[in-house]
């Protein structure tokens, strides 16, 4: 059994973020350890869960959180919607992870080639229409697309980063529980973007924890991460 399989649950936001990013580095390098995925871990978590991070990600089938962060059973409290849109039930799920499960970290994870963002851009720019409840998803992503356009963003990376940033801000604005937890230093929230081909994550924004430096980006792509 490796060290990751017997690790202690992170107690602080920075410890949780370090553990999460280390797992992504292993995945990107092609050296995952697949921690906490054996029968012993299954038995240990059957009666209770103690995840160290809440992760709100897109429902995209290529964005499986436990895989891309090299985590296992009971490590992450995962909430996924198309375009990581955040309605009342999503905010309630995040608050449950923070207030009941005592997770010291909340992560919003976007990704390149996001269908929800692409559909919203098409609706805003060309008047493309959709049917059913997909329209609700587009309506929730529209403020991010409009904000990116107003800032002169032209590339996909910039639209994705803007949407991640806006989702983080929306959660902080609407959830008093999370705002109070962040202010008290008990938890933090960060926004990350994921690159499908590379398998790597890039920092976008944070509240309550310092982000690592962002890798270099090309013109018109993701701006430097911001910490608050």
pLDDT at 139 over 90: yes
Is the full-model pTM beyond 0.85? yes
pLDDT at 210 over 80: yes
Looking at the DSSP bridge assignments, the partners of residue 77 are 54
What pLDDT was estimated at residue 8?
A: 74
Listed in sequence order, the residues at least 6 apart from 23 whose beta carbon sits closer than 8 Å to its beta carbon are 32, 69, 70, 71
Main-chain phi, psi angles of 204, to 5 degrees: -125, -50
Kindly report the average pLDDT of the chain as a whole number.
92
| Residue 207 and residue 182 in contact, taking contact as beta carbons nearer than 8 Å | yes
Task: Pick the range with the lowest mean pLDDT from 6-20, 57-71, 126-140.
Answer: 6-20
In the chain, the percentage of residues whose pLDDT exceeds 70 is 90
What pLDDT was estimated at residue 228?
A: 61
Average pLDDT over residues 50-78: 97
| Residue 167 and residue 114 in contact, taking contact as beta carbons nearer than 8 Å | no
For residue 3, name the pLDDT band (cuts at 50, 70, 90).
very low
Listed in sequence order, the residues at least 6 apart from 219 whose beta carbon sits closer than 8 Å to its beta carbon are none
């Amino acid at each position: 059994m490796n060290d990751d399989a017997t690790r202690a649950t992170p107690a602080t936001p920075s410890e949780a973020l370090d553990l999460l990013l280390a797992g992504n580095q292993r995945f990107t390098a092609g050296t995952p350890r697949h921690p906490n995925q054996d029968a012993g871990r299954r038995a240990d978590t059957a009666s209770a869960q103690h995840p160290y991070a809440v992760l709100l990600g897109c429902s995209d089938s290529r964005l499986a959180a436990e895989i891309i962060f090299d985590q296992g059973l009971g490590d992450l409290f995962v909430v996924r919607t198309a375009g990581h849109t955040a309605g009342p039930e999503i905010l309630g799920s995040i608050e449950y992870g923070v207030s009941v499960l005592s997770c010291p970290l909340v992560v919003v994870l976007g990704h390149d080639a996001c269908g929800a963002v692409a559909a919203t851009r098409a609706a805003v720019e060309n008047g493309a229409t959709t049917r059913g409840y997909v329209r609700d998803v587009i309506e929730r992503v529209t403020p991010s697309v409009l904000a990116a356009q107003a800032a002169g963003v032209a590339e996909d990376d910039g639209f994705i980063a803007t949407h991640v940033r806006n989702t983080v801000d929306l959660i902080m604005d609407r959830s008093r529980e999370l705002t109070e937890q962040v202010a008290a230093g008990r938890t933090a929230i960060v926004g990350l973007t994921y690159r499908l081909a590379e398998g790597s994550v890039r920092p976008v924004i944070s509240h309550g924890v310092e982000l690592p430096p962002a890798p270099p980006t090309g013109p018109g792509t993701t701006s430097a991460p911001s910490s608050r």
